[in-house]
Copies of this chain bind each other. A is one copy, B any other.
Amino acid sequence: MATSTVENYLKQILLEQQRVEGSPVPMGKVASALGVVPGTTTTMAKSLADSGLVNYAPRKGVRLTEEGEKLALHVLRRHRLIELFLVEILGLGWSEIHEEAEKLEHVISDKVLEKIDALLGFPTVDPHGDPIPTAKGKIDARSLENLSGCPLGEPLRISRITDQAPEFLRFIENNGLQPGAELKISEQNRVAGTLTFSLSKGKTLTIGASAAKKILVE
């Protein structure tokens, strides 16, 4: 059985892998994402490679093997279904569920997971708009535009927030920018690095480019 630690590494590698298609994930990325010192990830990379879960190229990075990816997708499925469950069934706040799921994802049995899945009506996205892998390990890989690269004037719908930090999520929530919200960009100032848009409720808001990059729309 994979330990929680191993599951966290695999999931994180999967996440990094999806960002940058093709190339191996450098050890430094993994280390900073998991909050450990770089040397630790080197040790773990070797041990994961020994177990056949990743391919490890020293000084280059890691890539999940088929088996590693299967496992990682399963962890990700658990994580996202749990997040939705915490919001829908237990009524937890949008911004506090990530941390909870981070622990629960390692102890939920398949049986419980499928019960949750059914109770939620077999959902396809989690509360942040992230796609939920199926039990078979398929995941919707459709790539969405982020707010800062969209044309002015057109009606857009927010479909995903790519940052789980509680304070960022609280900002999103306080301004009604959750997945599903509709808006039109009214102005984009490349020089100042700002972007102004109006929500369907009439409110107008200006945010920075870095925040805009974390908001995906369709």
Contacts and interface: CB of A to CB of B under 8 A. Distances in A.
Interface of A: 86, 89-92, 96, 100, 103-104, 106-109, 111-112, 115-116, 119
A90 B117 CA distance: 10
Closest 6 CB pairs of A and B: A103-B107, A90-B115, A107-B107, A104-B107, A100-B109, A100-B112
A96 B115 CA distance: 14
Contacts of A92: 111-112, 115
A180 to B, nearest CB: 24
19 contacts: A89-B89, A90-B112, A90-B115, A90-B116, A90-B119, A91-B115, A92-B111, A92-B112, A92-B115, A96-B111, A100-B109, A100-B111, A100-B112, A103-B107, A104-B104, A104-B107, A104-B108, A106-B107, A107-B107
Nearest to A97: B112
A156 B104 CA distance: 41
Contacts of A106: 107
A100 B109 CA distance: 7
Nearest to A115: B90
